[in-house]
Amino acid sequence: MMDWTDRHDRYFLRLISRYALLYTEMVTTGAILHGERARFLAFDPAEQPIGLQLGGSEPEALSQAAKAGENFGYQEINLNVGCPSDRVQRGRFGACLMEEPELVADCISAMQDGVAIPVTVKCRIGVDDRDNYEDLAEFVECVAARGCRTFVIHARKAWLSGLSPKENREIPPLDYARVFRLKRDFPDLEIIINGGITDLDQADEHLSEGVDGVMLGRAAYQNPYILAEVDQRFFGAKEEAPSREEVALAFADYAREQMDEGVPLKSMTRHILGLFNGLPGARAWRRHLSEEAHKPGASAEIIADALEERQAAATPRSNFEERVAIY
């Protein structure tokens, strides 16, 4: 989710669900330790609960980065050992670390020594030829022995060469049964399932198999209103979810405030294009935001304008209007 789940997207998603745990995009230790920390770590308090996802392979650097995240107020630090991109592999982190469980264990131990908040791992079910269940169980057992209690498992293996990151999300077959087996064999660990989950009915099905949670990725980005039922369905919330229109207008207020701080409008509106996916007028909504947000002098009012464009496109026209449109 690099370059996707930035602070503006997370604020937007939080307007839809109050209780779902949100994660940052993966942030490298180098960016935190040698860059402008606030740029990579700052977030709006409204985004809570939120976890920081780190990428790295040096225990001491990860410990320092985790401590920085805790100081900024994150509630969890997650080590990503599941990303298969070439860029990540060149930095010796991401999915390639599944081939070095002892190193991952050292990293987890160092991170836990530095913070008081939970330290978790996100991984794949396998990597390259280390893709049988025994390899996965060995990896989990090794890392858990050093104190990690929560594993987010993407139910696909990763190919470190030969497939692009996009292909690694689509070509390796999903094997949910392997994750369910892992939970049965490690009942004391918290096992979160991820990968290819597109709706809340599927999430329910996975939970019924015994896993402790479900992580949504691209489905929640591309169709964000999927989160509207999460609070009531899984957290027992009584209040109704906000409508799509209410979410859009609340985000417009946020965008105005951010623009006053110098944030370009287009860097925020790109995250809300999928709000009306699957509904009449969705194309008009996307088109208006895409065409207008980048223009000089564009204001947050274009969000309200896009709502009007969507409504107009979604409203059935009379026979007379149809004839006028034709002729």
Do residues 16 and 227 touch, judged by C-beta distance below 8 A?
Answer: yes
* Rounded Cα–Cα distance for residues 118 and 289 (Å): 39
* Rounded Cα–Cα distance for residues 117 and 51 (Å): 10
Q: Is 142 a catalytic residue?
A: no
* Rounded Cα–Cα distance for residues 168 and 288 (Å): 33
* Rounded Cα–Cα distance for residues 81 and 23 (Å): 15
Q: What beta strand segments (E) does 128-272 contain? A: 150-158, 190-194, 213-215
Catalytic, out of 83, 96, 123, 148: 83
263 CB-near residues (< 8 Å, 6+ apart)? 8
CA 135 to chain CA centroid, Å, is 26
Which residue's entry shows tokens 């996009």? 166
* Rounded Cα–Cα distance for residues 185 and 193 (Å): 15
Beta bridge partners of 52: 77
* Rounded Cα–Cα distance for residues 28 and 89 (Å): 12
54 CB-near residues (< 8 Å, 6+ apart)? 26, 27, 28, 29, 32, 62, 65, 66, 69, 77, 78, 79, 80
297 CB-near residues (< 8 Å, 6+ apart)? none
3-state helix, strand, coil in the chain (%, to 5): 50, 15, 35
- Residues carrying an active site annotation: 83
